[in-house]
Amino acid sequence: MIQIARYLTIDLLKNRAVIGSFLLFVAIGWGLFFIENQPEKALLMVMQVTLLLLPLITLIFSCIYYYNSYEFTVLLLSNPIKRSAVIQAFFIALSISFSFAYTIGIGLPLLLNNPSPESVIMLVSGNFLLWIFVGIALFICTKVNDKVKGIGLVLILWAFFAFLFDGLLILIMYQFGAYPIEKLILILTFLNPIDISRISVIMQTDASAMMGLSGAVFVDFFGSMKGLVISFSALLLWVAVMYLGSVRNFRKSDL
């Protein structure tokens, strides 16, 4: 498994799409800090852009790479190699390559221009998001053999997590605004890894004061060390569930 993951990682680091993603992250990281003089505002701008682009790029590329590696996967499975080792190698290689691109491209300008706990939280949560959406992509690809359907599903899923989920929360808050539903909204937030990462970062900045009294429960929870630990634990749980789900699907898949 280690040898396969090593080969795939080297192949991915040479891939034009990964190199292009790295250059895009560099442009976003350094460009936004160059445009905005206030580091905290620049951090929030970087967060908003990366939390939308990061899952999208990860999902699409992971799906395309997996589907395009079909012949290589079949060749591997013709040898006495466990199926779980093959899908683990794909997960590790994709996670390492994109984590490298993100950590250097976004993390370096973050830590140099705004060396603060908020930047560290942004960097850590961003890497968690990468691993989660690599797992989601592999989960769907190992379940759906058709390339077009698989890519279509990941795009729909990205749109749901990036836009539709927040719309549903706003609708619930609007319809039941007269009731104390803040804790319910807090619980529902953990169903979306993008929201977990976004709120974890925002709650550490001065922008949290703009949430008003209704957001006090979010400030109290995500603004504390206990809340951060629970948030990162939830992200880690997302990684584990998607990873184990993709391994289970691959073992049962008919290649």
* pLDDT, tens only, 150-200: 899 999 999 999 888 888 888 887 787 677 777 787 788 888 998 888 887
Domain that holds residue 176: 2-252
Q: Give the helix/strand (H/E) hosting 126.
A: helix 117-143
Sign of CA dihedral 65, 67, 71, 75: positive
| Phi-psi region at 212: left, alpha or beta (left = phi > 0; alpha = psi -120 to 50) | left
Please tell me the predicted confidence (pLDDT) of residue 227: 73
Domain count, the chain: 1
Instruction: Report pLDDT for 218.
Output: 61
Which residue reads 């984590």 in tokens?
Answer: 99
What pLDDT shows up at residue 238?
A: 93
- Cβ–Cβ < 8 Å for 24, 17: no
Cα radius of gyration (the chain): 19
pLDDT tens over the chain, length 255 residues: 678 888 788 888 888 888 888 998 888 888 888 887 777 777 888 888 888 888 999 999 999 999 988 888 888 778 777 888 888 899 999 999 999 999 998 888 888 888 888 888 888 888 999 999 999 999 999 888 888 898 999 999 999 998 888 888 888 877 876 777 777 877 888 889 988 888 877 776 655 544 444 445 566 666 667 778 888 899 999 999 999 999 898 888 766
What's residue 31's pLDDT? Answer: 85
Per-residue pLDDT of 50-62, as tens digits, reads: 888 889 999 999 9
In the chain, pLDDT over 90 holds for what percent of residues?
25
Measured between alpha carbons, how far is 152 from 163 in angstroms, rounded to an integer? 16
On whether the CB atoms of residues 136 and 215 are closer than 8 A, the answer is no
Residues sharing a CB contact under 8 Å with residue 100, sequence separation 6 or more, in sequence order: 13, 22
pLDDT for position 1: 67
The pLDDT, as a whole number, for residue 34 is 83
| Confidence (pLDDT) at 170 | 80
Q: Which residue has the tokens 């997302």?
A: 238
**150 close to 63: Cβ distance less than 8 angstroms:** yes
